[in-house]
Amino acid sequence: MSFAGGLGDWESGGLKMFKVSILNTEKILYLGLSEEVILPSEDGELTLLGFHQPILTRLKQGIIEIDRHWFFSIQDGIAHMQRGELVAIVE
């Protein structure tokens, strides 16, 4: 893993890493760096990588998958990706 300036410049195995925060009203479920996050959006499954364009999307019931290692079951929520950072507020 190398660091070259801003958070969006983290790289691991050739993929750009980005900051991920998964929150609910009671606690932080996940806070860390990731190469890939898969979200259950209302428009279908959405895969986010570090170079993803800014997006705001509503989430539906399903599983948030982070780097094929962390899995979070959610009822619904909202996710925002901008400048190498994903924030998802979920139930």
pLDDT score of 15: 76
Please compute, for residue 55, the number of CA atoms within 13 A of its CA located in the half-sphere on the CB side: 18
For residue 42, what pLDDT band results from cuts at 50, 70 and 90?
very high
Write the pLDDT tens digit of every residue in 46-72: 999 999 999 999 999 999 999 999 999
Domains of the chain with bracketed CATH: 7-90 (2.60.15.10)
Listed residue (49, 73, 78) closest to 63, CA to CA: 73
d(CA 91, CA 82): 21
For residue 13, what pLDDT band results from cuts at 50, 70 and 90?
low
The pTM assigned to this predicted structure is 0.84
